[in-house]
Amino acid sequence: MKTNTVSVGRRSNIELLRIVAMVMIVASHFAIHGGFKYEDEISLNSVWITFFGSGGKLGVDIFLLISGYFSVTSKRFRYSRVIRLWLQGFFYAVGIYLVLILTKAIKFKTVDFLLNFIPVSAQIWWFLTCFFIITLLSPLLNRMYRSLSQSTFKKALAVMTVFWILMYTVLNLNGFANELVSMFYMYSIGAYIRLWRDEKKNRPVVCILSAIVIMLLSCGLTIGMKQIVTEDYKRFVANYFGSTSLFVAAAAVLLFIGFKNIRMGEIKWLNAIAAATFGVYLIHEDPYMRGVLWSRIFKTSSHAHSSDLIFFSLWVTAAVFAACIVIELLRIHLIERWYLKPLRKQDDKISAFVERVCQKILRY
């Protein structure tokens, strides 16, 4: 295994990419949940919404690349990280539901209320559930990846690319892949880059521009297919913008490599914002908040044919991102900091307890 001896730490260039990824996710949710229905219409607004909504899965892939890149060389698993992730989901699932009930934005239902107490199991957010599973499996995955030779790792990635990416994008055979599989795939690529390509200094500008060109190409293909194929239009959209799309995966890897090689000093305020990005996702994509946010607060669908749609979409995305960042930073500093440090001090005890439980289970 070939790795850098210098600690990666929290690089501000990669943290900047994390922020860009979350902005793209917010923008895609604006387009997807905004109630925009253009049918077969080709106009500036319909093209813009197609482009604006194209970066959601790209942002998800980038998050997993970053996670795999930073995690693979870690030989100590912190159970506090898993608990912290679950508590973060619990806080927003229960908190948002109660706020919306108190403001009479939604009606109270006992079943819905109780499900918010188990956000991961109830799949309140699909990404949280899948990421929670990846996090739990990361010690095993990381140990396996570190034990592989470069040749074996490349062959494994090649097989995954054929069955999970190419067959879906080209042949529309999605029986081999799903959201969790896609996240595992991107996590694996991030791990490979850290272990075997971290010393490669690709030109950032070339990588980033190439990623932009690929996404523009996928947008063009989607719009073109809309004119050629009407009944299967949704299938083609999924093929080009989905989590198992060749276009999205390639663009995500190129963006990650490009940003990774940007020379940037540590910027503390940028790192602080990046640390709050997961909270942005949990807040604005909460299933109860989602309907209130886009339909009732911003009334996005009323701008579908408006001349100010482009400007409107940009400022709404920026406003949602900024507001959620502030809320998450407040949660981190006012609530999380009181239990996170004591929780981290118990990592060794928790690890020992889990080890004992596993040994007892294996005896049977």
* 135 and 180 Cβ atoms separated by less than 8 Å: no
252-294 residue pLDDT tens? 999 999 999 888 878 899 999 999 999 999 999 999 999 899 9
CA 143 – CA 302 distance, rounded (Å): 52
pLDDT at 68: 95
Instruction: Please return the burial class of 337, using the count of CB atoms within 10 Å of its CB with bins 0-12, 13-18 and 19+.
Output: exposed
Residue 177, token pair as written in the block: 């892949």
Q: Compute CA distances 60 → 20, 33, 200, 225, 264, whole Å.
A: 11, 17, 24, 25, 23
Residue 198's identity, in one-letter code, is: D
**Where is pLDDT greater, at 363 or 42?**
42
Per-residue b or e along 13-29, where b marks 16 or more CB atoms closer than 10 Å to that residue's CB: bbbbbbbbbbbbbbbbb
350 — pLDDT class (breaks 50, 70, 90): confident
Q: Could you read off the pLDDT of 237-249 as tens digits, one per residue?
A: 556 667 778 889 9
The one-character DSSP state at 54 is T
Q: Where are the alpha helices (DSSP H) in the chain?
A: 12-33, 44-52, 56-71, 79-102, 110-115, 126-147, 150-160, 167-171, 179-196, 204-228, 233-241, 246-260, 268-275, 277-284, 287-291, 309-331, 337-345, 347-363
Distance CA 98, CA 117 (A): 12
> What contacts 328, CB < 8 A, 6 or more positions away?
276, 278, 279, 280, 283
- List pLDDT tens digits, range 142-189: 989 999 999 999 999 999 998 888 887 777 666 566 788 889 999 999
pLDDT band with cut points at 50, 70 and 90 for residue 235:
low
* The pLDDT of residue 7 is above 70: no
Give the model confidence (pLDDT) of 174-233 as tens digits.
656 678 888 999 999 999 999 998 877 778 899 999 999 998 888 877 777 666 655 555
The domain limits of the chain are 12-363
End-to-end Cα spacing for the chain? 36
Contact 107, 301 (CB under 8 A): no
What integer is the mean pLDDT of 307-326? 96
Find the farthest-apart pair of alpha carbons in the chain and give their distance in angstroms, rounded: 68
| Structure-derived torsion over alpha carbons of residues 100, 104, 109, 112, reported in degrees to the nearest 10 | -10
Q: How far apart are CA 175 and CA 121, in angstroms?
A: 23
pLDDT of res. 234:
53
> Of 123, 145, 174, which Cα lies nearest the Cα of 67?
145
pTM over 0.75: yes
284-310 average pLDDT score: 93
Q: What does the pLDDT look like over 103-150, one tens digit per residue?
A: 999 999 999 999 999 999 999 999 999 999 999 888 889 989 999 999
Which residues have a Cβ under 8 Å from the Cβ of 231 and sit 6 or more positions away?
A: none
Distance CA 161, CA 246 (A): 8
**Residues whose CB falls within 8 Å of the CB of residue 60, separated by 6 or more in sequence, listed in order:** 21, 25, 127, 182, 183, 243
Report which residue type is found at 216.
Answer: L
Percent of the chain with pLDDT over 70: 87
